Structure 1
Amino acid sequence: MPYNEFLADRVSQFLKEKNVNFFEKKMFGGLCFMVDDKMCVGVNRDEIMARINPDIYQVSLTRKGCKEMNFTGRPMKGFVFLTEEATDLDEDLHHWLNLALEYNPLAKSSKKKTSKN
């Protein structure tokens, strides 16, 4: 199933209204929003994938519609999936997007892969 384009448009509109410099990149079978060349948030099917501060990760998991991100068989600390229950209302979606934006300057960039010739 492709990513939810309506949800992606909501994320894009929020970032534009905040004057955030970002670009979109297809990753993980969905669409990621890159801020400062780092994955900030993404849309995967009908869920938001957010990169938040690992210091608030455990507390965040107790909020409605927030669950651990688990692609590899073990959770990725600091990355969460947000169901419709956590993002249906603009106020709730904006809360999570703001958390991701707040953490983005502290997040480490993934290492660029270089090809060996």
Structure 2
Amino acid sequence: MAVDLALAERVRALLASEAPRERSMFGGLAFLVAGHMTVAVGDDGLLVRVDPDAERLTGDPRARDAMPGRPMRGWRSFDVDADTEDLPELVAHAVAQVRALPPKD
């Protein structure tokens, strides 16, 4: 899997104030905040840490299981690109989920 470089650059800009670490994971580029994977960019969109009870995100028609055939509670893949208007909202939601966890760093 390649990385959508335009999407990765936009996510990088959105996370700039969080001082994320970047790491190659799952065939894509993962962004870690406070030691927790927050979002990951691949060639087919964005893997996002979500609140499993956030129906707005988990029921989004662009969302699909993070790993087909293997449910991962708290993670959804979104078919988005760098021009997606609500990308800041998706990234902010993921950061809020990570901020609710104890830091790993």
Question: TM-score per shorter chain, which class?
Answer: 0.7 to 0.9
5 Å-filtered alignment, 1:12-51, equals: 12-16=12-16, 19-51=17-49
User: Which structure is higher in RCO with an 8 Å CA cutoff and minimum separation 6?
Assistant: 2
- 2:77 corresponds, among 57, 76, 81, to 81
Larger radius of gyration: 1
CA deviation after TM superposition for structure 1 residue 108, in Å: 6.4
The TM-score with structure 1 as length reference comes to: 0.77
CA distance in 2, matches of 1:107, 1:51: 12
Structure 1 partner of 2:59: 62
The sequence identity of aligned pairs, in percent, is 30
Larger helix share, 1 or 2? 1
SS in 2 for 1:7: helix
SS in 1 for 2:15: helix
Question: Which runs of no fewer than 5 residues in structure 1 stay unpaired?
Answer: 111-117
Q: Deviations over 1:32-90 (max 9, x none)?
A: 0000011000102231000112221x44232231112115x3110110101027x632x
The TM-score with structure 2 as length reference comes to: 0.85
SS in 1 for 2:70: coil
The verdict on how the C-alpha distance between 1:70 and 1:109 changes in structure 2, with shifts beyond 3 A counting, is farther
Number of residues of Structure 1 aligned to a counterpart in Structure 2: 104
Structure 2 partner of 1:2: 2
